[in-house]
Structure 1
């Protein structure tokens, strides 16, 4: 009988045996990064934010309008005067440029730039989520494969116990009740096996959702990445590098600039306008003018906008403080979870050794008539539960390392050294930041967009 549990002992650790051409965790990370719709969406959102910089930059340039008009007219100056009619065509070209706005356009450009930097941090955050989903799915598939193997061993062992109980019943050593208990336990074992099969199917679907394909032969999990020596060291890194905190800092800067923008709105604007006109009769006209615009009264709207921007700034600063609190808490929770998992693994090892000894002893005593079938089945169930708990604790310990990395803001392609090309947020930004039109810059932009397809 011990042969069944000896075979099942292979599944005690979450580290699966390697196979030829196995799919590694690195492969899963790479597949998740390359196939993630979430990353594609956030990258597109970032490109849209890049265009805000281009639009803000365009306000520094003149606006040129072209108007070509043609119309028929028929008129009579008096009742007895002749009718005059004809077609008149005009051509007008005007250019308008803001000369002075007391920094409004410059502030809008800075706000757009800070928004780009904040959106880049959001992209980093999505990257962390995608990579953690990949490692969680990878570990979950391996855990459920091992639990299924363990449940299969359990079914075979309980089947043997049932046969032994039937044999002992036939020779009068035990009662029918003992046989019924073994039959009930076998039914429960088969139900557990069916549940394990279903859990594995669910885990495979999660793996496909995370990486784009169903798992093949999964390789042994690699050694966990290194962590800082202490929780406080991990918190220090997190409060310096976590994308959520950096994005919150950018939003505070944006809110500060928004307050200055509303203050500048109380000042005048100086604009220049140049126009050229032609008509089909050979006439022409040219014009040039300056205009100074100042809103004198807005019904309290501008003052309200300023107060609103100040309130938004205060809220952004509070968000920044809360972001630091949540990040520090996340690191602490992840660190505590890892320590708990380590303790559970160590306790699980002791529990398995004790449960194995108890099971062997109870079976030996049962063969001598000193124990009942129920005693044997209960001891076997305790050993099974201990092995299941040990597998789950080992999986949680492995995932705990990546949870800490995510809480620190370091779960990235770069930090994991996956060695694959990543989305370059500066590439598109540098191509559009100066608001290019049809030019050499525009052709460069076309090439970048082609690569993104």
Structure 2
């Protein structure tokens, strides 16, 4: 019975690495193929990705087209203030049938064919049109809103590109950590099997190490999928395949300059935030709409120049030609419109209040977002330093647990837990680094200064 038990346990020990090897065959082959394809490819830098996104991203191109369309409001509104010149011409072939009594009082019918034509040249110049001037001011405010909205999308593009780039790097780091996990667990599994075969270990150690290794294999599959997905996210923005990225240089990131004081960033955001500029322009447009509605109570005054040439323009002037010229003015006075104008005025007053409150709410929220990203930069730097210390301490703890395990003072479970804690510290450290970079870009985007120079600065923290 003892011999059968030993044979059964040996079969289990032999089957475990075979199962592990089979489970890793596909991911290892895929990783090897990917590595061979990307080894010779140049790494895509953050600055290169941003420049590609400026021309290839569908969202920013849509915003540019929308801004171009809105900019046409100014020439359209200005055209209403300029002279309106028109020319009309017409020619007709007329058939006149006339029935009238003759001298004897007997009705007599005659039929006549004749040609008629007319040409009219009209020039109308608005002299007093308050609504048109209000519309022109509104057009300028709407164009300012369009330009600010485009700038806001440009700032968001810097954030989106940086975020996608950092997510892709984080996914690669997480995959590398899972591979380290597998190597460590496999080493511990082999050691446990040897100790068990030598009579110094227990079966529980083998089972524990095998369970951790199987879980790491499952995590590797998930990590590979996450790497492909995050690269695909970046590819959608830049419209180019992504195979290799430039990694973060930890030393350069640690030497990155501090952003300055929080109050300075708040003041800068108040002045240059595209979001606030857009809302201020919307408020100005609402005020111009109020002026347009109020102008509905006022008279309008136009200058008119007209030149008319006609021939046979009626049945009483057949064969007669006219050539008339006139210069004058036209006054239109609104008297009663059923309450429409008054209702429009009240509506625009409510729209102004809505725009004012939206501006104030965004201003308050912007201050909070600036503070959040500012602390993400300043406290993120402290967090990186703390996590680097934690990672070094975790390395020491792993070494100590391994030696204590070899001396019999610790179990294999203690070693595996120490390994898990070390990898957690490394994962948190990588996440903190990428979050700190992204927070810098977000902070500058809120202030409207996330331009190519800002991306170039972040790009300098990457390894060449």
Could you state the TM-score of these two structures normalised by the residue count of structure 2?
0.80
- What is the aligned length? 400
Deviation at 1:204, TM superposition (A): 0.2
Against the structure 1 CA distance between its residues 177 and 331, is the aligned structure 2 distance closer, same or farther, given a 3 Å change threshold?
Answer: same
Answer whether contact 1:25 1:221 (CA < 8 A) is retained.
Answer: no
Pair 1:53 & 2:92 matched: no
- Aligned twin of 2:263: 232
Moved more, 277-286 or 261-270: 277-286
1:84 matched to 2:120? The reply is no
Deviation, structure 1 residue 151:
1.2
Q: Paired residue for 2:299, among 264, 268, 280?
A: 268
Match of residue 149, structure 2, among 116, 122, 128: 122
Task: State the Cα deviation string for residues 233-282 of structure 1 (Å, max 9, x = none).
Answer: 11111111111111222222222333233322211112233132334857
1:340 Cα deviation after fit: 4.1
Aligned twin of 2:31: none
Moved more, 232-241 or 352-361: 352-361
Corresponding residue of 1:25: 46
After TM superposition, give the deviation of residue 196 of structure 1 in Å. 1.2
Q: What SS class does the counterpart of residue 278 from structure 1 fall into?
A: strand
**For residue 348 of structure 2, what is the aligned residue in structure 1?**
309
2:136 maps to what in 1? 109
Give the Cα separation in 1 of the matches to 2:398 and 2:456: 46
Structure 2 unaligned regions, length at least 5: 1-38, 100-106, 313-318, 458-464
2:8 matched residue in structure 1:
none
Aligned to 1:74: 95
Could you say what secondary structure the match of 1:265 adopts?
helix
Which residue of structure 2 lines up, in the alignment, with residue 97 of structure 1? 125
Kept in 2, the 8 Å contact 1:148–1:196? The answer is yes
Give 1:302-381 correspondences, 5 Å limit. Answer: 302-381=341-420
1:394 correspondence with 2:429: no
Per the normalisation by structure 1, the TM-score is 0.82
| Cα shift at 1:21 | 4.5
Residue 77 of structure 1 aligns to a residue in which SS?
strand
2:221 is equivalent to residue 189 of structure 1:
no
Q: Is the 8 A contact 2:175 2:223 kept in 1?
A: yes
Classify the secondary structure of the residue corresponding to 1:81: strand
Match of 1:277 in 2: 309
Q: What secondary structure, in the 3-state scheme, does the structure 1 residue paired with 2:86 have?
A: strand
Per the TM alignment, residue 112 of structure 1 is displaced from its structure 2 partner at its CA by: 0.8
Decide which of 129, 137, 140 is 2:164's aligned counterpart.
Answer: 137
Match of 1:44 in 2: 65
What is the distance in 2 between the residues matched to 1:64 and 1:213?
A: 52
* 224-233 vs 58-67, which moves further: 224-233
- Higher RCO, 1 vs 2 (CA within 8 Å, ≥6 residues apart): 1
Q: CA deviation at 1:392?
A: 0.9
2:262 and 2:374 in contact (8 A); partners too: yes
Matches within 5 A, 1:221-260: 221=248, 226=257, 228-260=259-291
Residues 116 and 310, structure 2, Cα contact 8 Å, conserved in 1:
no
Cα root mean square deviation, aligned: 2.4
Q: Give distance in 1, aligned partners of 2:40 and 2:248.
A: 12
- CA offsets, 1:76-101, max 9 Å, x none? 21153221234434333333332222
Work out the CA distance in 2 between the residues paired with 1:241 and 1:64. 43
- Which sits farther off after the overlay, 405-414 or 120-129? 405-414
How many angstroms apart in 2 are the aligned matches of 1:19 and 1:324?
49
CA distance in 2, matches of 1:354, 1:227: 27
Distance 1:337 1:202 in 2: 26
Assess if the C-alpha contact under 8 Å between 1:76 and 1:83 holds in 2. Answer: yes
Match of 2:185 among 158, 166, 174: 158
Deviations along 1:264-316, one digit per CA (max 9) or x if unpaired, are 22111122331323348572332434321111001111111112222222222
SS class of match (2:428): helix
Residues 24, 221 of structure 1: 8 Å contact kept:
no
2:249 equivalent to 1:218: no
Q: 2:108 is paired with a residue of what secondary structure?
A: coil
The residue number in structure 2 matching 1:438 is: none
Q: Deviations over 1:388-420 (max 9, x none)?
A: 1111111112212112112222112365579xx
Instruction: Measure the CA separation in 1 of the matches of 2:136 and 2:261.
Output: 42
**Partner Cα separation in structure 2 for residue 407 and residue 228 of structure 1:** 13
1:444 maps to none
Once the 2 structures are TM-superposed, how far is the Cα of residue 200 of structure 1 from its aligned partner? 0.7
Change (3 A) 1:156 1:35: same
For residue 362 of structure 1, report the CA deviation from its aligned partner: 1.4
Counterpart CA distance in 2 for 1:112 and 1:308 is 19
Query: Is contact 1:91-1:279 (8 Å) kept?
Result: no
